[in-house]
Structure 1
Amino acid sequence: MTTELAHRETTVDLKTVCKTARDHRDYGEHHSTLHPEVWQALRASPLPAAALPVAFGGLQWPAGQIIDAVRQLALADPSAGWAAAIHAPAGAFTARLDTQTAAELGLGPGKPPPLIAGSSIPAGTAEPDNENVRLRGTWPLVTAAPQMTLAVLAAPDPGDHATRWWWVAQDNVHVLQDWDAVGLRGSASCSVTCDTLVPRDHTVRLTEPAAFDESLYRFPLYGLMAACIAAVAQATAEQALAAFRELATTATPRHAAATLAHLGPVQETYAHAATRLSAAAAHADSTVETAWKAAQNGTVPGTERAALRAACSHLVQTSATLCQDLFETAGSAALHRRSPLERYWRDSAVAARHALVASRGQQLAGALMLTGTAAKDL
Structure 2
Amino acid sequence: MTLVHDQPALVAVGQLSRAAGEHREFGERHGTLHPAVWQALTASPLPRAAVPADCGGLQWDPPQILAAVREVALADPAAGWVAAIHGPAGAFLSRLPAQTARDLVGDAPVVAGSSVPVGRTEPEGEEVRLRGRWPLVTGAPAMTLAALAAPADHHKAPGTRWWLVPRDRLSVEEDWDALGLRGSASYTVACDTLVPGAHSISLTDAPLADGALYRYPLYGLLAGCIAEVARASGERALAAFATLASTTASRYGSGPMAYQPAVQAAFDQADGRLHAAAGLLDAATEAAWSSALAGQVSPGQRALLRTACSQMAEAAEAACRTLFDAAGAAAIHRAAGLEGCWRDAMTISRHALVAARGRQLAGAHHLTATTAGEL
SS at match of 1:26: helix
Q: 1:264-283 maps to which residues of 2 (within 5 A)?
A: 264-283=261-280
**Deviation, structure 1 residue 101:** 1.2
Shift in Å, 1:214:
1.2
Within the alignment, does 1:215 sit opposite 2:212 as a pair? yes
Q: Does 1:155 align with 2:154?
A: no
Correspondence for 2:136 among 129, 141, 155: 141
1-structure distance, mates of 2:179, 2:258: 29
One-letter identity of the residue aligned with 1:156: P
The letter for the 2-side match of 1:164 is R
Q: TM-score, normalised by structure 1?
A: 0.95
1:315-349: CA deviation from partner (whole Å, max 9, x where unpaired):
11100110011001101001111111110000000
Secondary structure class of the residue paired with 2:316 = helix
Distance 2:100 2:51 in 1: 15
Asked whether 1:182 is paired with 2:179, we answer yes
CA distance, structure 2, for counterparts of residue 102 and residue 255 of structure 1: 64
Q: Are the counterparts in 2 of residues 12 and 44 from structure 1 also a CA contact under 8 Å?
A: no
Q: How far did 1:258 drift?
A: 2.9
How far off is 1:12 after superposition? 5.9
Partner Cα distance (1:118, 1:12) in 2: 27
CA, structure 1 residues 339+119, in 2 after alignment: closer, same or farther (shift >3 Å)?
Answer: same
Summarize the alignment of residues 9-158 of structure 1 with structure 2, pairs less than 5 Å apart: 13-107=12-106, 111-112=107-108, 114-158=109-153
Q: How far off is 1:4 after superposition?
A: 6.3
**Aligned-partner Cα distance in 2 for 1:154–1:267:** 47
Q: Residues 277 and 315 of structure 1 are in contact (CA less than 8 Å); yes or no, is this contact kept in structure 2?
A: yes
Distance 1:12 1:119 in 2: 30
User: Contact 1:12–1:46 (CA<8 Å) still a contact in 2?
Assistant: no
The one-letter code sitting in structure 2 at the alignment partner of 1:148 is M
**Unmatched runs of 5 consecutive residues or more in structure 1:** none
3-state SS in 2 of match to 1:257: coil
Q: SS at the partner of 2:250?
A: coil
- How many angstroms apart in 1 are the aligned matches of 2:208 and 2:361? 25
Once the two structures are TM-superposed, the CA of residue 105 in structure 1 deviates from its matched residue by 0.9
Within 2, Cα distance between the matches of 1:96 and 1:161? 16
Kept in 1: contact 2:173–2:189 (CA 8 A): yes
Q: CA deviation at 1:271?
A: 1.0
Residue 213 of structure 2 aligns to a residue in which SS?
Answer: helix
The one-character-per-residue Cα deviations of 1:197-237 (angstroms, maximum 9, x if unpaired) are: 00110111110010023100000000001010000000110
User: Which one of the candidate residues 306, 319, 328 is aligned to 1:322?
Assistant: 319
Question: 1:260: which partner in 2?
Answer: 257
Alignment counterpart, residue 339 of structure 2, candidates 319, 339, 342: 342
CA positional deviation for 1:103: 2.8
Encode CA deviations 1:15-39: one digit per residue, 9 max, x unaligned. Answer: 1111111111110011100000000
Distance 2:337 2:188 in 1: 28
- The residue correspondences of 1:188-267 to structure 2 (distance < 5 A) are 188-267=185-264
SS in 1 for 2:192: strand
CA distance in 2, matches of 1:295, 1:76: 30
Q: Give 3-state SS (helix, strand or coil) of 1:187's partner.
A: coil
Partner of 2:304: 307
Name the amino acid aligned to 1:146: P
Answer yes or no: is the 8 Å Cα contact 2:70–2:80 preserved in 1: yes
Aligned residues: 370
Return the letter of the residue paired with 1:139: W
Q: Name the aligned partner's letter for residue 377 of structure 1.
A: E
2:214 counterpart letter in structure 1: Y
Asked if structure 1 preserves the Cα contact closer than 8 Å seen for 2:267 and 2:323, the reply is yes
Q: Give the CA deviation at 1:299.
A: 1.5
- 218-227 or 294-303: which moved more? 294-303
Cα distance in structure 1, aligned partners of 2:369 and 2:329: 48
DSSP-derived class of the 2:336 partner: coil
